[in-house]
Chain A
Amino acid sequence: MPDHSNALFPSSATSPGGVSIELDSVTKTYPGQKVSAVEEFSMRIEPGELVMFVGPSGCGKTTTMKMVNRIIEPTSGSIRIDGQDVLGLSPHELRRHIGYVIQQIGLFPHMTIAENVATVPRLLGWSKQQIAARVEELLETVQLDPAEFANRYPRQLSGGQQQRAGVARALAADPPVMLMDEPFGATDPITREKLQSEFLRLQAEIGKTIIFVTHDFDEAVRLGDRIAVLSERSQVEQFDTPAAILAAPANEYVASFIGSGAALKRLALMPVGTVRLSGATGDLGGRPSIDPASTLRDALNLLVVTGAEAVDVIDPTGNRLGQLTHADISAALTQAGLSGSAVR
């Protein structure tokens, strides 16, 4: 499919992935209010990057995001997508090229799932065949069997299924940029985890530039390439990779947002295979074993649960790569702390 004949952003016509987003001194002041909702917000987001905006309710993170597709008009400042000033474009045209997913999903209840997904392609004037093919492709991408779901109505879907349909709808015209406002916030923990891992797999495939708003720091750590921790008036307290923020919070505010167990959260980001192992020689003592693709957190969990001194790291072909002890895990954590963001 990707029909880029009507691409709005120049480089999305040549490369399928994302494009850059630059916000420069973006400010939003509502009439009659003394304090700005968003003040002098500047950020550059690289093509294909998944940036998480994290902060408490009312900090302005959603407002900041919604200025990118001009659902909220900035009071001052400039926003460029792929170098193009969005304030100079027609807002309707702009929004057709930016995927948009909100927490309540907002599927149209009187339309089938297929019709919902077809919304933007219809606005862009695609042909019937193009639309039908694209809808089928997308429903498969988000793991909703087209034969079963295409002709259903939103109310006939579970919350998780509706959220997937919402993502499919946002992806319909293959926009280079996606804005996601707490898309998994209203789902139960099990569904949320499932949606998150599906989303990561999807993003690895499509490589969109994504701004993802959440108040859940763990979600930010799990999904984000970089995290922007925001405070009042959307001030950026720290903007870095999850590992770097966990290893060295910029200030008290960020530290308080991370909460307890920062070290454990960091371990969850470090695959066993990237760590220096000890005792590479022989010594097979029937110890618990772990796959190198698992994280250090899994390894530590195994150590604690089994009470063993060390776990063997064994790759899928059965080769023993070495072993991990408590001391190895601590060392890996210290090492990563020194080299900053190297582990991600």
Chain B
Amino acid sequence: MANSVPMALDGLGTFLDRRSDDLVQMTTEHLIVVAVSVGIATVLGVGIGLLVWDRNIGRSVAITTAAIILTIPSLALLAILSPLFGLGWGPTVVALVMYSLLPIIRNTVVGLREVPAHVLESARGMGMKPSTVLIRIQLPMAWPIILTGIRVATQLAIGIAAIGAYVAGPGLGQFIFRGLSSLGSKNALNYALSGTVGVVVLALVADAVFILITRYTTPRGLRA
């Protein structure tokens, strides 16, 4: 038993060496599918947030719906989406967009609502139209909070994207599923392990990137 772990790691070294091209490609695909999905979700989520932030009913409907979606197990959602969107990228992107909406909508709404009343009043008092107040005052002031929502959505999507392999979606999930389906074989653990570690590393890197984005896109007057 004491020997089996170093032996397994020996095997991992050879495995990584041989599969490095695959690994790089899957990591890249994983990253792309997450970026595309979170990008779409950002446009949708911020848009929905801008529409509902000051409407009680609309706000409740939007946030509750997004919250319910998040409770659907990802395997189940993919199974439902597959007949509609086929296999591969289609259902994966749709599922990831749906899962990413909640943090983005909620943070957009919270951010827009957190702008102090006196700032809104002075904006209005100077003759800004409501849409101008929203775009020029509220949105920039809410941006750090919205960005936090996007960051959370990204973390969420990186994890869930791995399940996309169930419907032949792109990304590191393929390694994990290959490992699962070949349990007992020599490389089963290597597949699962490299896929999983890849996902974790990707998540850490994405978080670091978001720290930089936050630093460079937060208006200077709002930085602590």
Question: Which residues of A are interface residues toward B (Cβ below 8 A)?
Answer: 69, 71, 91-97, 100, 102-112, 119-120, 123, 153-155, 166, 169-170, 179
Contact = CB atoms under 8 A, between A and B. Distances in A.
Contacts of A103: 118
Given A110-B222, A123-B126, A104 B118 contact: yes
B201 to A, nearest CB: 35
Contacts of A153: 220-221
Given A102-B121, A106-B118, A112 B127 contact: no
B83 interface: no
Contacts of A97: 127
Contacts of B127: 91-97, 120, 123
Contacts of A96: 126-127
Contacts of B141: 108-110
Interface in B129-147: 129, 132, 137, 140-141
Given A110-B221, A154-B221, A155-B221, A100 B118 contact: no
B219 A95 contact: no
A9 to B, nearest CB: 14
A335 to B, nearest CB: 44
A203 B178 CA distance: 79
B73 interface: no
A108 B125 CA distance: 13
B128 interface: yes
B124 interface: yes
A96 B128 CA distance: 8
Interface of B: 116, 118-129, 132, 137, 140-141, 219-222
SS of B interface (majority): helix
Contacts of A111: 219, 221
Nearest to B144: A110
A93 to B, nearest CB: 7
Nearest to B222: A110
Contact of B124 (A95, A104, A166, A170): A95
Nearest to A170: B126
B221 A100 contact: no
Q: Which of B122, B125, B126, B132 gathers most chain A CB within 10 Å?
A: B126
In the A-B complex, list the 8 residue pairs whose CB atoms are closest, starting with the nearest: A106-B122, A153-B221, A96-B127, A100-B125, A110-B219, A95-B127, A104-B118, A106-B118
A112 B140 CA distance: 13
B109 to A, nearest CB: 19
A92 B147 CA distance: 31
Contacts of A104: 116, 118
Given A95-B125, A100-B125, A111-B221, 7 more contacts: A92-B129, A95-B126, A106-B116, A108-B119, A112-B221, A153-B220, A169-B126
A64 to B, nearest CB: 15
